[in-house]
């Protein structure tokens, strides 16, 4: 019989703390045992007795209030298969981001090696404050999974971002994390991401609007599934994912050379980068001055096709390419599947609001078996769906 998994549920001082009771119940119905840690401020909204009655386990509040256990933060940290903080206030998010451990909950989080998931809840101005957003970027880069927040009516009477995500959404995300298979354990995965910049002179370049979000999401998801990941990234504003080797490049030629070595050892290679098709034939040594000119002519030459070049000698490596198109999306994707010797093409239409720079995307998965259309979803959810498709294809050919 499989041992029952444990969720350590952290509850912080927020009006949404009462919804943590529903989260607890949802996790229990899904078959998990739940042990609760509360901040002292959380007890102003819901009493520890409520969580004790629901969970059937003592509730931790103070660092040294558990008889017979001088280090409860270590004990609970070791028990967790998932550490879920719902709701997570701006204060707790700041503590997590900066490693502050001044109460039982933050100390346990710092000591815990299990996956960490947070469901933020706060006023919209607190959520959008630069400090909070900086802290969120830090946590996401470390692999912390984030659920929400939602948009709606807030406790203060405002309407905006910062509302705790729906209970069902939090429970579903937690269950998915708990049941995530380490199906990539022992595998090497290389991913290219972002744009390339091709220099015109020391200050100007040819580039595109790719943000790198899709590639970074894939890198984090592959790591969570147990893979050793190498991320070759063009210029982006994204923070390096914690624990992943990131090779920073600028141009297409640099990306090709940086990808050769990890590709040779890769079990799976995913080329999400939006590589510039052309580059200036020559780069001016100094900034090109307008100097009364009415026009400037640039001679462009083709860049190397990184996907095609490396996939030509792919061996047993499973190769995935991306096709960002503005028209005839599936037609071009099917052509690339063959011409670039890929096993799968992820196609998307970037002519509208989805695609480059957006949080969500809609794609089609094109392979020799046919075309699978996926719904619009976040790039994080999409990363999971793409890796599922890759593993399903690999398993089917064994």
pLDDT per position as a tens digit, 268-301: 999 999 999 999 999 998 998 887 777 888 899 9
Q: Please check whether residues 204 and 156 belong to one and the same domain.
A: no
Structural domain contains residue 286: no
DSSP letters spanning 129-192: SHHHHHHHHHHHHTT-EE---EEEE-TTS-EEEEEPPPHHHHHHHHHHHHH---TTTT-EEEEE
Q: Which residue among the candidates 14, 21, 112, 156 is catalytic per the annotation?
A: 156
Q: Please check whether residues 81 and 203 belong to one and the same domain.
A: no
Tell me whether residue 156 is one of the annotated catalytic residues. yes
Find the mean pLDDT for residues 136-159.
81
- Last residue of a domain, which of 160, 179, 198? 179
Tell me the CATH number at 106: 3.40.50.1950
Q: Please check whether residues 172 and 204 belong to one and the same domain.
A: no
Q: Which stretch of DSSP H or E encloses residue 81?
A: none
> The pTM is what?
0.72
Structural domain contains residue 14: yes
What pLDDT does 306 receive?
Answer: 96
Stretch among 152-156, 221-225, 314-318 having the lowest mean pLDDT: 152-156
Judged against a pLDDT cut of 60, whether residue 354 lies above it is answered with no
Q: Please check whether residues 125 and 193 belong to one and the same domain.
A: no
Q: Copy the structure tokens of residue 77.
A: 């940290």
Q: Please check whether residues 138 and 235 belong to one and the same domain.
A: no
Find the mean pLDDT for residues 86-95.
95
Structural domain contains residue 288: no
What pLDDT does 327 receive?
Answer: 76
Judged against a pLDDT cut of 80, whether residue 1 lies above it is answered with no
What pLDDT does 397 receive?
Answer: 66
Structural domain contains residue 1: no
DSSP 8-state secondary structure symbol assigned to residue 23: H
What pLDDT does 156 receive?
Answer: 65
- Structure confidence by residue, pLDDT tens digits, 208-255: 888 999 999 999 899 888 899 999 999 999 888 888 999 999 999 999
Judged against a pLDDT cut of 70, whether residue 357 lies above it is answered with no
Structural domain contains residue 18: yes
Q: Quick one: which of 337, 270, 334, 342 has its CA closest to 311? A: 342
- Structure confidence by residue, pLDDT tens digits, 318-353: 999 988 777 777 888 888 899 999 999 998 877 666
Q: Please check whether residues 156 and 64 belong to one and the same domain.
A: yes
Q: Copy the structure tokens of residue 44.
A: 């102003």
* Structural domains of the chain, count: 2
Those residues with Cβ within 8 angstroms of residue 29's Cβ, 6 or more apart along the chain or in another chain: none
Q: Please check whether residues 331 and 199 belong to one and the same domain.
A: yes
Q: Please check whether residues 197 and 175 belong to one and the same domain.
A: no
- What is the overall mean pLDDT for the chain? 89
Q: Is 385 left (phi over 0), alpha (psi -120 to 50) or beta?
A: alpha
Tell me the CATH number at 299: 3.40.50.10300
Spatial distance between the Cα atoms of 30 and 26, rounded to a whole number of angstroms: 6
Q: How confident is the model at residue 87 (pLDDT cuts 50, 70, 90)?
A: very high
Structural domain contains residue 289: no
DSSP letters spanning 280-345: ESS--SSPPP-TT-S-----EEEPP-HHHHHHTT-TT-EEEEEEEESSSHHHHHHHHHHHTT-SEE
Query: Percentage of residues in the chain with pLDDT exceeding 90?
Result: 57
Structural domain of residue 389, as residue ranges? Answer: 188-281+295-396
Q: Copy the structure tokens of residue 117.
A: 């998931």
Find the mean pLDDT for residues 50-73.
82
What pLDDT does 352 receive?
Answer: 63
Spatial distance between the Cα atoms of 13 and 128, rounded to a whole number of angstroms: 19
């Amino acid at each position: 019989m499989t041992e029952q998994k444990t969720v350590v549920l952290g509850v912080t001082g927020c009006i949404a703390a009462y919804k943590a009771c529903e989260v607890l119940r949802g996790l229990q119905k899904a078959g998990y045992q739940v042990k609760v840690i509360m901040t002292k401020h959380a007890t102003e909204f819901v009493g520890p007795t409520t969580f004790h009655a629901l969970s059937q386990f003592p509730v931790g509040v103070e660092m040294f209030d558990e008889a017979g256990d001088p280090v409860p933060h270590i004990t609970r940290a070791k028990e967790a298969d998932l550490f879920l903080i719902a709701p997570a206030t701006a204060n707790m998010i700041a503590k997590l981001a900066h490693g502050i451990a001044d109460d039982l909950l933050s100390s346990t989080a710092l000591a815990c090696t299990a996956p960490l998931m947070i469901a933020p809840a706060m006023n919209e101005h607190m959520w959008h404050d630069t400090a909070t957003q900086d802290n969120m970027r830090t946590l996401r880069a470390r692999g912390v999974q984030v659920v929400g927040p939602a948009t709606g009516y807030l406790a203060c009477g405002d309407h905006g971002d910062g509302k705790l995500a729906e209970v069902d959404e939090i429970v579903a995300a937690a269950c998915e994390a708990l049941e995530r298979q380490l199906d990539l354990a022992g595998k090497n995965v290389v991913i290219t991401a972002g744009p390339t910049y091709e220099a015109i002179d020391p200050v100007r370049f040819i580039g595109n609007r790719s943000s790198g979000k899709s590639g970074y999401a894939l890198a984090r998801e592959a790591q969570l599934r147990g893979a050793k990941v190498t991320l070759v990234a063009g210029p982006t504003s994204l923070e390096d994912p914690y624990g992943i080797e990131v090779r920073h490049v600028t141009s297409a030629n640099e990306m090709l050379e940086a990808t050769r070595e990890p590709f040779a050892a890769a079990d799976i290679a995913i080329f999400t980068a939006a590589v510039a098709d052309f580059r200036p034939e020559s780069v001016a040594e100094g900034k090109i001055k307008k100097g009364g000119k009415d026009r400037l002519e640039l001679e462009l030459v083709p860049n190397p096709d990184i996907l095609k070049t490396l996939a030509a000698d792919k061996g047993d490596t499973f190769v995935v390419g991306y096709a960002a198109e503005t028209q005839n999306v599936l037609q071009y994707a099917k052509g690339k599947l063959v011409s670039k010797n890929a096993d799968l093409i992820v196609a998307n239409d970037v002519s509208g609001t989805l695609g480059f720079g957006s949080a969500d995307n809609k794609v089609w998965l094109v392979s020799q078996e046919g075309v699978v259309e996926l719904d619009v979803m976040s790039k994080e959810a999409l990363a999971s769906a793409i890796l599922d498709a890759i593993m399903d294809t690999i398993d089917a050919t064994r």
